Structure 1
Amino acid sequence: MTSHFNTKERILHAAEDLFAQHGFAGTSLRQVTSRADVNIAAVNYHFGSKENLVNEVFKHRMDDMSEKRLSALAKAVENDPNDLEGILLAFIQPALALTLDRHGGAFVRVLARAYAEKNDGLRNFLSENYGQVLREFAKAIAHCLPQLSKEELYWRMDFVAGALTYAMADFGLIKRQNGVSEKAHCEKAAQHLIRFAKAGLQA
């Protein structure tokens, strides 16, 4: 059983790295098997198809992140249902924490690819499996900002999610300074993003 687990993990990490470098369409299963040092039968056994492999790369990361987000959201709402900053922290912190993971950096680039490449199958998969997480946050934010229409709330949440993805990808003007740890840089990014998102949602 352990060898199966290791093989599956190796395939997922290889696919994640290659998708980050070359995109989904630009990566072949042959490249994945070569990087993971497995044969094509192993990919077919564990995933069945390239489309399923793409989905599983996301599931591998998103399941854990979604669980942490919902757990943090439940605690924030229980503490104070009107604490918009606490709700935003529950949304933002687990996502930024991915960037601290040894393999998480590649997934962040894969996530950016998902936004850039038109892949309807992947978008449907993400919507079906993780749309409920966003709806839970929308409900909590709507409680804090009852004056916003549903459409206006969703527009603003889209912009917050976009800013978060940008911050995760570390594309911006602010770079980690020498002597500042990744964790400290990540925490500072979260603080700035929460203030920015709160102002935008309340505008």
Structure 2
Amino acid sequence: MASHAPFSTKDRILGAAEELFAQHGFTGTSLRQVTSRAEVNIAAVNYHFGSKENLVNEVFRRRMDEMSAQRLAELEAAVAGHPGQLEPILAAFVEPALALAQDRCGGAAFVRVIARAYAEKNDSLRKFLSDHYGHVLREFAKAIAKCLPDMSKEELYWRLDFLAGALTYAMADFGLIKRPTGTGEKAHRERAARELIRFSAAGFRS
């Protein structure tokens, strides 16, 4: 059993950090608050993460690695199964992110952490995300470019940026459209994905 202890400690720290970053932001959260919430000592945080900056990065990596892998797998399937079609490519980008937002194990907290990242202009975090996940956006840009060969690269990246912003908004679920009574989360998420894909496809083609 002892061999599992480091993993459970690490996960407890990540979970506590995610909740606190969601509530108070990155600058507003101290390592002391994290250790108190996770019920560990500061040595455990230093052992597993080394610094607060690295802890922030790892909170993102814990969620983003899996989502990025899923996006790329779905992109590959979309390109192979529906060559030249834009909507399946957009679905591969949108659906894994909305699924993450509804993950019962802290998905909602992570979405608020993403919103904090937009709001706080954390340069080191932006560099980390660009270095580790920039290739995912580039793969989607390449696939979309093949569907829309007349669009300039600059236009394509503007529109992809707008899609990412709209997707973050949809993930946060603080839009005008709330889940109707009697509609399950999965059905509501699927509707949100369909509407966003239709909207963004029209935007890309305009």
Partner deviation per Cα, 1:155-186 (whole Å, 9 max, x = no partner): 01100010000000111100011111111111
Question: Which of 132, 140, 144 is equivalent to 1:141?
Answer: 144
Q: Tell me how large the CA RMSD over aligned residues is.
A: 0.6
Question: Which of 39, 47, 61 is equivalent to 1:37?
Answer: 39
Partner SS, residue 64 of structure 1: helix
| Large movers: runs of 4+ above 6 Å | none
Question: Which of 185, 188, 192 is equivalent to 1:185?
Answer: 188
Deviation at 1:118, TM superposition (A): 1.2
Query: Percent same amino acid at aligned positions?
Result: 72
The correspondence of residues 106-145 of structure 1 with structure 2, limited to 5 A, is 106-145=109-148
Q: Which residue in the other structure is 1:150 paired with?
A: 153
Structure 2 CA distance for aligned equivalents of residues 81 and 9 of structure 1: 40
Structure 1 CA distance for aligned equivalents of residues 45 and 184 of structure 2: 37
Deviation at 1:81, TM superposition (A): 2.2
Query: Is 1:175 the counterpart of 2:178 in the alignment?
Result: yes
Partner SS, residue 177 of structure 1: coil
Q: Which residue in the other structure is 1:11 paired with?
A: 13
Deviation at 1:139, TM superposition (A): 0.1
Deviation at 1:19, TM superposition (A): 0.2
Partner SS, residue 26 of structure 1: coil
Extract unaligned runs of 5+ from structure 2. none
Structure 1 CA distance for aligned equivalents of residues 138 and 124 of structure 2: 21
Contact 1:81 1:143 in 2 (8 A): no
Contact 1:81 1:140 in 2 (8 A): no
Structure 2 CA distance for aligned equivalents of residues 144 and 87 of structure 1: 10
Q: Which residue in the other structure is 1:24 paired with?
A: 26
Structure 2 CA distance for aligned equivalents of residues 81 and 134 of structure 1: 19
TM-score where L is the length of structure 2: 0.97
Q: What is the one-letter code of the residue matched to 1:188?
A: R
Extract unaligned runs of 5+ from structure 1. none
Deviation at 1:100, TM superposition (A): 1.6
Contact 1:156 1:200 in 2 (8 A): yes
Question: Which of 153, 163, 167 is equivalent to 2:166?
Answer: 163
| Count of paired positions | 203
Q: What is the one-letter code of the residue matched to 1:98?
A: L
Partner SS, residue 70 of structure 2: helix
Contact 1:11 1:43 in 2 (8 A): yes
Question: Which of 60, 66, 69 is equivalent to 1:67?
Answer: 69
Partner deviation per Cα, 1:100-144 (whole Å, 9 max, x = no partner): 211111000000111111110000000000000000000000000
